[in-house]
Amino acid sequence: MKKIVAIIAVALILFQLGCSNDKEYTFDSDFYPRIFDNGNTFTSPNRIVEEGASVNFNRLSFSPSPSKGMEISWKVNGQHVSSDTAFVFTPPNGGGEFEVTLEASFKGNVSTRKSKVLVSPSTYAPKPFDQIALSYLTENGNASFIDWKQVTHVAFNGARVLPEGGIDFSKGDLNQVTDELVARAHLNGIPFLLSVSGRLSGVDGWALYNNSDFGDVISNPTLMAQLVTTLVDYVERKKIDGIDVLMTDLSNDDAAIAGRNAAAVGPFINALKAALQPGKLVTATVTTNYLHWNYTDLSQADWIHVRAYDDGAHVSPGAPLGQSSTLDYMISSAAVWTNKGFAKNKLVLGMPAYGIRYDELDSDGNNLSWGSYTNVSYTSILQASSDADAYKKDYLPNIGKGVYYNGVVLIKEKADYVKEQGFKGAYLWAGDYDVKDNRSLMATIKANIK
For residues 107 and 177, state if they share a domain.
no
How do beta strands 153-161 and 192-197 pair?
Answer: parallel
Question: Which of left, alpha, beta for 18 (phi over 0: left; psi -120 to 50: alpha)?
Answer: alpha
256 and 217 Cβ atoms separated by less than 8 Å: no
Report pLDDT digits (tens) over 157-184: 999 999 999 999 999 999 999 999 999 9
CATH number, position 412? 3.20.20.80
Do you find a cis peptide bond into 191, omega within 30 degrees of 0? no
For residues 174 and 206, state if they share a domain.
yes
Final residue before a domain boundary, out of 61, 90, 120: 120
DSSP state of 200: B
For residues 331 and 270, state if they share a domain.
yes
Half-sphere exposure of 450 (CA within 13 A, CB side): 12
Burial class (CB in 10 A: 0-12, 13-18, 19+), 418: buried
Distance between CA atoms of residues 177 and 44, nearest Å: 13
For residues 229 and 97, state if they share a domain.
no
Half-sphere exposure of 375 (CA within 13 A, CB side): 19
Residues contacting 174, CB < 8 A, separation 6+: none
| Alpha helical stretches, state H, 276-326 | none
For residues 299 and 346, state if they share a domain.
yes
For residues 81 and 189, state if they share a domain.
no
Count of C-beta atoms within a 10 Å radius of residue 364: 9
Which regions of 125-259 does DSSP assign to beta strands (E)? 132-137, 153-161, 167-168, 192-197, 242-246
Report pLDDT digits (tens) over 400-414: 999 999 999 999 999
Is residue 350 in a domain? yes
Q: Looking at the 3D structure of the chain, how many domains does it have?
A: 2
Q: What is the mean pLDDT for each group of 10 consecutive residues in the chain (450 residues)? A: 50 43 55 90 87 94 90 97 96 94 94 96 95 98 98 98 95 96 98 96 88 94 97 98 91 86 95 97 92 87 96 96 98 96 97 98 97 97 97 97 98 98 98 98 95
Q: What are the beta bridge partners of residue 281?
A: 242
Distance between CA atoms of residues 161 and 216, nearest Å: 10
Is residue 1 in a domain? no
Parent domain of 295: 132-449
Distance between CA atoms of residues 171 and 160, nearest Å: 9
Distance between CA atoms of residues 76 and 119, nearest Å: 14
CA torsion sign for 390, 393, 394, 399 is negative
288 and 307 Cβ atoms separated by less than 8 Å: yes
Is residue 126 in a domain? no
CATH number, position 100? 2.60.40.10
Do you find a cis peptide bond into 225, omega within 30 degrees of 0? no
Distance between CA atoms of residues 127 and 143, nearest Å: 18
Helix (H, G, I), strand (E, B) or coil at 73: strand
| Alpha helical stretches, state H, 219-326 | 221-238, 255-275
Report pLDDT digits (tens) over 284-342: 999 898 788 888 889 999 999 999 999 999 999 999 999 999 999 999 999 999 999 99
DSSP state of 337: H
For residues 110 and 141, state if they share a domain.
no
For residues 312 and 202, state if they share a domain.
yes
Is residue 61 in a domain? yes
For residues 333 and 196, state if they share a domain.
yes
Q: What is the pTM of this model?
A: 0.90
For residues 299 and 360, state if they share a domain.
yes
Report pLDDT digits (tens) over 383-392: 999 999 999 9
Burial class (CB in 10 A: 0-12, 13-18, 19+), 376: buried
